[in-house]
Structure 1
């Protein structure tokens, strides 16, 4: 199903992103690995290639729109196109729940795509 497809995975240097990249590679995908940490990306690229995929490493902070556009262009330049985007990189933060009032407690856990 994904054999030969070009997949972009953010947060690919560790955790969920790295596992996702490896899973796509096991299906024969060409995987663009995006993350900030070069060391984690290098290890992820090795895993992708050992699993049968083709890896492209792009060190980028995906919180900036221009950086994401530039990274996407690198992927297109290398692989010709982009198919699905797997974006497991999220930022977790605590935000106050104004509805709870002064006795409202700890607030809300909020996951945002970055």
Structure 2
């Protein structure tokens, strides 16, 4: 959902929300303009599941034109298994994780 530019300069804006679950709590809170409740419930969930702003998340991307270089650890030469790969002009291997809490 992107609504940041809807309704600029005094004109009526239109936002289209596409969802698999129209009865979801977040969708209802947005439609009802209940942003205070949305904020507090989201903050509670983020704290319970160890997400920012209460905890840190690390995103590691390593890029090289040669994918074989990304398959080996720099010092040991041992194979590395990355959670995801993508082609980006070269290759990008990456991982997302949470530091120990």
- TM bin, normalised by shorter chain, reads under 0.3
Q: TM-score, normalised by structure 2?
A: 0.20
When you count helix as a share of all residues, which structure comes out higher? 1
State the TM-score, normalizing by the size of structure 1: 0.18
Question: Which structure has the higher relative contact order (CA within 8 Å, separation 6+)?
Answer: 1
Larger Rg over CA atoms: 2
Bigger fraction of residues in strand: 1
